[in-house]
Amino acid sequence: MEITTHLSVVRVLEHDVYKRKRPLDLGFVDFRTLEARKAACEAEVRLNARLAPDVYLGVVPVRDEGTIVDYAVHMRRLPDDARADEMLARGALGHAEIARVADVIAAFHAGAEGGPEIARFGTAEAVAYNVEENFRQTEATIGDYLSGEQAAELRAFQRGVLRERDAVFAERVARGRVRDGHGDLRLEHVYFEDADAPIVIDCIEFADRFRFADVCADVAFLSMDLAAHGRVDLAEAFLAHYARASNDYDLYELVDFYESYRATVRGKVSAILARDATVDDGTRAEAARAARRAFLVAVAAERRSILRPAVVAVGGLIASGKSTVADLVARETSAPVVEADRTRKHMLRVPATQRLDERAWSGAYDPKLTELVYAEVLRRADVVLRTGRPVVLDASFRSPAMRRAARELAARHGVPFRFVECRAPEGTCRERLARRERETHVSDGRVAIFDAFAARYEPPRELPPEELLVLDTTRSLPETLAALRAHLDTWPLGLAG
């Protein structure tokens, strides 16, 4: 089987794949010389070893009567049914799989090369160069897929963000969020050959400026692709999982822009293939459909979801089931969870699962530090809310003052506030804590501090009934879900899997 893309010709055999670069110049890439194609093949093998170490087997020469006429990347063939887009089509790609991909990409970004030379590609000025290049290279084709009004809206949105949020791009650069990433993070490049350890292939190798980027640009490629496949719920879930795994909630300030930018890139390359007279009619027709879908997603990226924003704070005694319930709420709403425990560890610069066995109300849990932790939790939530998305807060919220701060955050944004108080019998909480001490866990709750914590916990009597849901976490999962769905806005039936 042979597959032609805008850049490559891929020959797929039973156990092997050979990929050659097409000898063309598309403006953003020039493969017309043998040397350029060889260099690109070598770079592809080297760079993809980062996320798919046993897939890329090397570069092989292509000969014609003994003379080298081309080079090809030799790959191990991966099973088609393990590819993420195929899994999505048959209903086998869900929240668990999306979370695993988010974890892999967050770890990849954390270890990816950074530094001043790479960081400069994340400035508003550098990103604007790529954006304007897209607009120039789609000027002759975008009218085949969008109305003039839609195309103008798309350009105005992307240019407006670059003009108005220059300081946000600069802050991302300063915080080290610009890395040597993947550059083409799409569903068809993600494989679950091992269900617990997804691998990612086919990063950008031909131009560093498309791979050196804000990590948000990488993440937005996959969230955009999920949305283009009709699964906005999974797109938002992927963003939420990545934000938690990377402690990067500030990405929400730019993710809609980068989704629009990435969708424009996909529209551009699909439009190129749709007009390529050297490929068959079926390939051109499918490329035209893909271009239309991508450009529409690019326009829609700035528009808000049908799921209303809200602040859902989940609190209660330690081991009362807060994190489990927060994760359930997040799954039902595709909202990011901002956890006090994980935030505290990040602020202290220790791994999320490193135990901090402090005495009650001392050290890492000194009340003054806890105030700073709650302030950071609310700051992260504020970033999410400014984009019109819901957010879930996972903390004890043991005092009226703590709950009032979360409620005031919702009021400032004019969105609903809900407090879910998790309850369980004291004996159950102690059993959970004893079990947790034998496991790896983000929380530092343990039996030794339970009494001290319980003595300072103040039930939420100050909240009106319409804002309070008291949840018995010893109930079954179906009962818990039913209670949550009755009190919270969740994805409408039929729009989420």
Fill in the amino acid letter for 191.
Y
State residue 492's pLDDT score: 59
Q: Which of 379, 402, 399 is nearest to 391 (CA)?
A: 379
State residue 495's pLDDT score: 52
Q: Element (H or E) spanning 17, and its range?
A: strand 16-21
Question: How is residue 241 written in tokens?
Answer: 């999982």
Written as tens digits, the pLDDT of the chain (497 aa) is 888 887 888 999 999 999 999 998 888 888 899 999 999 999 999 999 999 999 999 999 999 888 999 999 999 999 999 999 999 999 999 999 999 999 999 999 999 999 999 999 999 999 999 999 999 999 999 999 999 999 999 999 999 999 999 999 999 999 999 999 999 999 999 999 998 899 999 999 988 989 999 999 999 999 999 999 999 999 999 999 999 999 999 999 999 999 999 999 999 999 999 998 888 899 999 999 999 999 999 999 887 777 789 999 999 999 999 999 999 999 999 999 999 999 999 999 999 989 887 777 888 888 899 999 999 999 999 999 999 999 999 999 999 999 999 999 999 999 999 999 999 999 999 999 998 888 888 887 888 888 888 999 999 999 999 999 999 999 998 899 898 988 887 765 445 55
Contacting residues for 3 by C-beta, under 8 A, at least 6 apart = 9, 10, 12
The pTM score is 0.92
In whole angstroms, what is the distance from residue 362 CA to residue 411 CA? 32
Domain edges within the chain: 2-76, 80-300, 311-487
Q: What is the CATH class of 80-300?
A: alpha beta
The beta strands (E) that lie in 30-95 are given as 56-64, 67-76
Question: How is residue 152 written in tokens?
Answer: 């103008």
Contacting residues for 117 by C-beta, under 8 A, at least 6 apart = none
Q: Which of 23, 22, 29, 25 is nearest to 8 (CA)?
A: 22
The CB-side HSE value for 209 (13 A sphere, CA atoms) comes to 13
Q: With the C-alpha atoms ordered 70, 73, 74, 77, is the resulting torsion angle positive or negative?
A: negative
Q: How do 417-423 and 311-316 pair as beta strands?
A: parallel
Question: How is residue 60 written in tokens?
Answer: 């092989």
In whole angstroms, what is the distance from residue 227 CA to residue 490 CA? 17
Question: How is residue 2 written in tokens?
Answer: 């042979």
**How many CB atoms within 10 Å of residue 432?**
19
What one-character DSSP code corresponds to residue 28?
S
In whole angstroms, what is the distance from residue 206 CA to residue 209 CA? 9
State residue 497's pLDDT score: 54
Contacting residues for 7 by C-beta, under 8 A, at least 6 apart = 21, 22, 26, 29, 31, 206, 269
State residue 193's pLDDT score: 93
Superfamily of domain 311-487: P-loop containing nucleotide triphosphate hydrolases (3.40.50.300)
